[in-house]
Amino acid sequence: MPDDSSIGPAAGRFPATRWSVILAARSGDAAERQRALEAIAAAYWKPVYKYVRLRWSRSREDAQDLTQEFFARLVEKDFLAGFDPARGRLRTFLRVCVDRFAANEAKAAQRLKRGGGAAVLSLDFEGAEGELGRIEPPAPESLEEFFEKEWVRSYFGLALEQFEKECSARGKETHYRLFERYDLDDSERRLSYDDLAREFSIAVTDVTNYLAWARREFRRIALERLRELTGSDAEFRREARALLGVEPK
């Protein structure tokens, strides 16, 4: 993911405040509640699934059922009603909710046997298993930190996916590819702007301008996504500073 030097502090204003998932989940509008469920699940299902597999030592099948059931009931049972943004971050609250839900396994298992465990979301559990297989299992005492890092990875992945789609829709594939090659490349050799200009057959000034645009647009998308996934303006600002190096205006 881009480091602070790549995306830097925002030059413009913060994005306009949108309904966060907290408000959407409590809406009387079924479509808004569904939007909340989809937004939360998109960012959290992988961290939740991996955390359940490791923290609670569940089999693949049990972890899949618990993950599906947790998100199905998150909005249905208004788990978010207990969230107080003054007391902590949304992702910490959700992790605690997962622990409570998994600890209540006996009742959850009964609901699953009654058919309550039907899949409500289409989730790539096999992909998540593949990712788990490529890492060293964290120590039990560091699983909370593992959950945090997985959420950050999921969040940036969603922002990047949206950015790529928007670049494609706007005919700016080269902008995205430059951003990918320069800001997302983890190789030891850092490409220069001259290298990129030759590779893409464009002027060095175009490299500069394209990357500036790409960083600005990615930051905009990342901030919009972050605003939706935080429970208050204060949390949003703290997370923006921590994750994006952005200082609130």
CB atoms within 10 A of CB 236: 22
pLDDT in tens, 116-151: 555 568 899 999 999 999 999 999 999 999 999 999
- CA dist 65 and 121 (Å) reads 11
Give the contacts of 76 (CB within 8 A, at least 6 positions apart).
none
Residue 204 has pLDDT above 80, yes or no: yes
Parse the chain into domains and list their residue ranges: 4-244
* pLDDT score of 12: 35
Residue 2 has pLDDT above 60, yes or no: no
pLDDT in tens, 210-224: 999 999 999 999 999
* pLDDT score of 80: 86
- Ranked by mean pLDDT, the top range of 3-12, 202-211, 222-231 is 202-211
- CA dist 93 and 87 (Å) reads 9
pLDDT class for 108, splitting at 50, 70, 90?
low
* pTM for the structure as a whole: 0.83
pLDDT class for 57, splitting at 50, 70, 90?
very high
pLDDT in tens, 161-194: 999 999 999 999 999 999 999 999 887 788 999 9
For residue 136 the two structure tokens come to: 């060293």
pLDDT in tens, 9-39: 333 333 333 457 888 888 888 888 888 888 9
- CA dist 189 and 54 (Å) reads 35
For the chain, the average pLDDT equals 86
* pLDDT score of 47: 97
- CA dist 246 and 238 (Å) reads 9
